[in-house]
Structure 1
Amino acid sequence: MIDNFKKFNMPRYEQVRWHIQTLLTESKWDESTPLPTEQDFADKYQVSVGTVRKAVEKLVEDGVLIKHQGRGTFLKKPDFNTSLLRFYKFRDQEARYVIPTGVIKKITLIEAVDTINKTLNIHENEDLIYIERVRIVEDKVILSERIWLPKNRYQEFIGLEPKDFENLLYPFYYKKCGQFVSSAIETLFFITDHIDPYLDNTQHENLVKVCRIAKNLEGDPVEYRESYGLAEKFSYESQII
């Protein structure tokens, strides 16, 4: 199996890294299940344990895997709620920080949208699944989201109703369609003259727009999302260590 890569002149550990990543993707690996041991991988791919260890360490550096002392190595689940809290801090009536609840308002199948299809790197004529979602704290909408998904990756969503969705979307993507979101790129803008029906804002209130391209383990886009929130609620926080 590893010998198939000889013609690419790829380092041995990179070959092993690619095979482990492919295994995780194709087998829809459960993030609560530890990976085989380094010795198991060494036997499987007929390489040294040192080569496997280097491949695993690289996947840990890439944020694909995480090691737990005494428990093993696991598929890492990104914490996208932490990403949200970089931009907005939400408190309840007792001044405690809270994670907003997600509620699906609309899901429908739509025709291709040129700019969205290009962003998702799919055929220009491929249909899309379109979702409108809000994030709520104490019965108040604080974020409004528009989400576009490639139809071919989310066939199981066709026919679902808003009530069928769970609070957290990314675990639901994985459970229902086998789409594991491994990373994302976010771009932030301040915008004006945008009225959002869920935020109930006025034309004179500035909004923050966060565009996110979510990717799978192979680096392919699996979701494009636009999130809108009131600029007056915006704050940026970044920890530098």
Structure 2
Amino acid sequence: MKSSKIVRLPLYAQIKDAILQKLSQREWKFDQPLPSESKMADEFGVSVGSIRHAVAELEDAGILIRRQGVGTFVRSYKDTGLWNRFQKFMRKDGRLPVFESNPLRLEIIPAPENVAEKMKIMPGDPVIRCLRDMSDNGERTGVDVAYLDLATFRDLKIEDLEDVKGNLYKLYEEKLGVFIADVTDILEFVIIDKEIQKICDLPLGTPLFFVTRQSRLLNKKTVEIRYEYCSAVNYRLRI
């Protein structure tokens, strides 16, 4: 009989997980400073050095930020110079686009199979679908289709989306208290044919960026699957 191999995480990694768990469960609030390093050391029963190592790792990951003389906070849009820290599109002149959105539909639907698989739910379980028409400087660029975890985004209303300039994550954070910690993007480059045109309604033959995004909370739970169809005519991608 083979013995099972037990993998023990380093102490600082266990502390990282504990900090993320407290934030995920909102025991520690996003808009308030984390307890001091000495208080965390007492709470977790470890040295201040181990706490410092864990916090530094979370800073490097872009999750936490130190504010001099104030404390350590969850990194928010107020702390960044970019309007969207996950934005990968760039105009060909080097400027960042600020996409404007026109919400077309916000509805609860049965989860499609591909969405359910990524969210680790059953096909047909209820999810929220958000459909938005996207533009930049008045020029239509494509559409954005997001599937959202129902429990996480239950309070989202279509009225909330009407003033959003492309950046749903700022809305999630400030309106709903939902912090998207990281995303995974899969990029495809396609040419619009008749089938794709039914979805994004751009001219046939237009080159298109098609992005599949999987967005996760601090506890690694996937709460958003997003499909972005964006014209590639005037844009390039930042890697």
TM-score > 0.5, shorter chain as reference: yes
Q: Match for residue 164 of structure 1?
A: 160
2:84 paired with 1:81: yes
2:212 paired with 1:216: no
SS at match of 1:132: strand
Letter aligned with residue 122 of structure 1: I
* Structure richer in strand, relative to its length: 2
Give the whole-Å Cα distance in 1 for the aligned partners of 2:76 and 2:30. Answer: 7
Q: Which runs of 5+ in 1 are unaligned?
A: 1-6
Letter aligned with residue 75 of structure 2: K
Residues 190-201 of structure 1 mapped to structure 2, 5 A cutoff: 190-192=189-191, 193=193, 194-195=196-197, 200-201=201-202
Q: Match for residue 226 of structure 1?
A: 227
2:92·2:236 contact (CA, 8 Å) conserved in 1? no
**Structure 1 residues 206-233: Cα deviation after superposition (integer angstroms, max 9, x where no partner):** 2111111111111121101111111212
1:150·1:222 contact (CA, 8 Å) conserved in 2? yes
How far apart are 1:30 and its partner, in Å?
A: 4.5
How far apart are 1:109 and its partner, in Å?
A: 1.1
Residues paired across the two proteins, number: 224
Q: Match for residue 4 of structure 1?
A: none
How far apart are 1:72 and its partner, in Å?
A: 2.2
Give the whole-Å Cα distance in 2 for the aligned partners of 1:142 and 1:58. Answer: 38
Letter aligned with residue 81 of structure 1: N
SS at match of 1:88: strand
Give the whole-Å Cα distance in 2 for the aligned partners of 1:12 and 1:38. Answer: 15
Letter aligned with residue 67 of structure 2: H
Calculate the aligned-residue CA RMSD, in Å.
2.7
How far apart are 1:96 and its partner, in Å?
A: 6.7
How far apart are 1:9 and its partner, in Å?
A: 4.2
Letter aligned with residue 89 of structure 1: R
Letter aligned with residue 36 of structure 2: T
**Structure 1 residues 117-141: Cα deviation after superposition (integer angstroms, max 9, x where no partner):** 1012222331111111133333332
Residues 28-177 of structure 1 mapped to structure 2, 5 A cutoff: 29-77=28-76, 81-84=84-87, 86-89=88-91, 98-157=97-156, 160=157, 162-165=158-161, 166-167=163-164, 168-177=167-176
Distance 1:124 1:176, change over 3 A: farther
| Residue identity (%) | 25
Give the whole-Å Cα distance in 2 for the aligned partners of 1:153 and 1:52. Answer: 30
Give the whole-Å Cα distance in 1 for the aligned partners of 2:216 and 2:96. Answer: 28
Q: Match for residue 21 of structure 1?
A: 20
